[in-house]
């Protein structure tokens, strides 16, 4: 395997690692690699090309979605797709011009070792170029590669595996430094309590390090308003008990002894309303309190001794288009402002029923789509493309609710039937991956779906395509004076 240069983007890394960009929709059941497929009658069909199969053995695939030519197709793109990826020199300049803290080289001067966390496989970040510049700066401060540890901040999600770690860090960094996955059941240290009375048990490797650095992606998150920043500590690298308290007691979204979700009547913490989020219209009312959860995480980050935080902003193809570094709070708030200008749709979001066929591609994320998209009209079809080997990763805090009093497995709950048809295009998904979304039909290839669509929409269809819903949303606008706050919830 060739190593990418320091200026490599995610796509360049995939090219160097042997990944092929192939158009098609037929896949080998044994290898997962795309096989080229003959295009249907060019006189009858048009094609939409979607990136799929991120972090898969075959690498990113440009998958062709064929639709009849007389169907009207609208694509919801991202403003930030117009921005060029940061160069290695631009990344280095960001690291050397932090917000609210000293540069990382100054922080690390005279220190023996460093720990760097990176977000898990449910986030679409590729840290290769950033991580390489970061460890070069640590080297310059006197900390060599053998004294640098990367930790996958998985929280309550699936543990990081070697393939995932290489996919996130890139082969150059992977070969230079040691990595580990966080264990929320062991190897943690009690560093005190937050103002919410949350006992903070943080990863032992992180706490014992001389230099403690967070790396994460900044994007909308219903439970914390925006991800990245202090969220790298809670839930990223703390014990399951600390995660539970933050999610379910501070956030009021669940209880330990009952698997369901119910409200917490505690009032909003007096210090929790952050001016930026207030202006952006973030949810603050009961039963969910994202402000409280973020403030709890921020206090935890201070207790854990975070020295430096990196919040990455990326486009729809995993390229880094901006970076905010420095203090875990100040740099993250600046990243939120930038993300809310770049990681947004380039046009107003359609209204429910405006289209009768919605195609949403969950790329570039391994969770279900973050982006919000409207329901099709009655009798329409909503298709979610989830071509990723791990598909949706179940939150471990939800698993206690997977078996109900009638002996039914919650993972296979029928859910509430909508007035439109729901289809998932996924070579990998099973019923567990459609948890909470009962009634979804799963097809491994597009050629199994196309005849159904042609039969359903004999007189034509109005189609809306979301090519990368995993990292784009409607811009969060300030509320009008006196307007009620909206509620929200969300997992990790």
Query: Per-residue pLDDT tens for 292-336?
Result: 788 899 999 999 999 999 999 988 888 999 999 999 999 999 998
User: What local confidence, expressed as pLDDT, does residue 267 receive?
Assistant: 46
Within 8 A by CB and 6+ apart from 482, the residues are none
pLDDT, residue 329, reads 93
Domain annotation for the chain: domains and CATH numbers? 17-78+345-471 (3.90.226), 83-342 (3.40.50.11440)
Mean pLDDT of the chain: 79
Closest CA relative to residue 489, chosen from 420, 400, 398, 411: 398
Q: Please state the φ and ψ torsions of residue 460, each to the nearest 5 degrees.
A: 105, 165
Ramachandran bin of 204, using left for φ above 0, alpha for ψ from -120 to 50, beta for the remaining angles: alpha
pLDDT at res. 62: 87
SS3 272: coil
Rounded Cα–Cα distance for residues 212 and 263 (Å): 35
> Would you state the pLDDT for residue 481?
45
Concatenating the DSSP letter of every residue in 171-230 gives HHHHHHSEEEE--TTSSEEEEEE-TT--EEEEEHHHHH-SEEEEEEE--EETTTEE-SGG
Q: Note the helical H segments in 286-362.
A: 290-304, 330-342
3-state secondary structure (DSSP) of residue 19: coil
Closest CA to 63 of 477, 464, 446: 446
Q: At 425, list the tokens.
A: 């295009």
CA distance 231 to 260: 24
Reading the chain (492 residues) residue by residue, the pLDDT tens digits are 333 333 444 444 333 433 333 444 444 333 344 444 566 677 889 999 998 888 776 778 888 999 999 999 999 999 999 999 999 999 999 999 999 999 999 999 999 999 999 998 888 789 999 999 999 999 999 999 999 999 999 998 888 889 889 989 999 999 999 999 999 999 999 999 998 889 999 999 999 999 999 999 998 777 777 889 999 999 999 998 899 888 877 876 544 333 333 333 444 444 544 444 444 444 443 333 557 788 899 999 999 999 999 999 988 888 999 999 999 999 999 998 899 899 989 988 888 899 999 999 988 875 554 446 788 988 999 998 988 776 556 667 666 555 555 555 554 444 555 788 989 898 887 766 665 556 788 898 999 999 999 999 999 999 999 998 877 888 876 544 444 444 334 446
**Entry pTM:** 0.83
324's CB contacts (< 8 A; 6+ apart) are: 94, 99, 218, 310, 311, 313, 331, 332, 334, 335, 338
For residue 156, the model assigns a pLDDT of 87
CB atoms within 10 A of CB 59: 21
């Amino acid at each position: 395997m060739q190593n990418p240069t320091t200026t490599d983007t995610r796509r360049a890394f995939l090219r160097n690692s042997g990944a092929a960009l192939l158009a098609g929709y037929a896949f080998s059941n044994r290898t997962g690699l795309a096989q080229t497929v003959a295009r249907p009658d060019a006189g009858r069909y048009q094609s939409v090309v979607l990136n799929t199969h991120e972090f898969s053995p075959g690498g990113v695939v440009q998958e062709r979605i064929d639709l009849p030519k007389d169907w009207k197709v609208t694509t919801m793109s991202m403003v930030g797709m117009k921005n060029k990826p940061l160069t290695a020199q631009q990344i280095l300049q960001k690291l050397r011009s932090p917000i609210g803290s000293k540069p990382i080289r100054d922080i690390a001067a005279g220190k023996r070792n460093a720990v760097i966390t990176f977000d898990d496989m449910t986030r679409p970040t590729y840290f290769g170029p950033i991580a390489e510049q970061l460890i070069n700066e640590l080297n310059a401060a006197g900390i060599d590669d053998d004294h640098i540890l990367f930790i996958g901040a998985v929280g309550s999600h699936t543990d990081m595996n070697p393939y995932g770690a290489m996919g996130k860090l890139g082969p150059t960094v992977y070969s230079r430094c040691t990595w580990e996955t966080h264990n929320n059941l062991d190897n943690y240290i009690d560093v005190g309590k937050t103002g919410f009375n949350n006992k903070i048990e943080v990863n032992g490797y992180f706490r014992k390090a001389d230099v403690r650095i967070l790396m994460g992606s900044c994007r909308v998150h219903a439970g914390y308003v925006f991800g990245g920043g202090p969220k790298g500590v809670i839930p990223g690298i703390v014990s399951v008990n600390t995660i539970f308290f933050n999610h379910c007691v501070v956030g009021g979204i669940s209880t330990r002894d009952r698997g369901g979700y119910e409200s917490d009547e505690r009032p909003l913490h007096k210090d929790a309303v952050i001016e930026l989020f207030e202006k952006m219209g973030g949810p603050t009312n009961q039963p969910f309190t994202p402000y409280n959860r973020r403030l709890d995480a921020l206090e935890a980050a201070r207790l854990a001794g975070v020295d430096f935080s990196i919040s990455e902003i990326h486009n729809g193809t995993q390229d880094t288009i901006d970076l905010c570094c420095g203090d875990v709070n100040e740099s993250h708030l600046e990243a939120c402002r930038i993300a809310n200008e770049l990681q947004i749709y380039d046009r107003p979001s359609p209204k429910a029923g405006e289209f009768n066929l919605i195609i949403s591609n969950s790329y570039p994320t391994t969770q279900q789509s973050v982006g919000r998209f409207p329901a099709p009209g009655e009798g329409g079809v909503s298709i979610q493309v989830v071509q990723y080997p791990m598909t949706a990763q179940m939150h471990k805090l939800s698993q206690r609710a997977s078996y109900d009093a009638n002996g039914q497995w919650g993972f296979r709950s029928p859910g509430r039937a909508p007035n439109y048809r729901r289809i998932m295009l996924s070579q990998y998904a099973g019923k567990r991956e459609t948890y909470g979304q009962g009634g979804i039909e799963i097809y491994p290839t597009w050629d199994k779906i196309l005849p159904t669509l042609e039969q359903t929409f004999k007189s034509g269809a109005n189609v809306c395509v979301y090519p990368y819903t995993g990292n784009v949303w409607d811009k969060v606008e300030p509320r009008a004076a006196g307007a009620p706050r909206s509620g929200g919830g969300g997992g990790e």
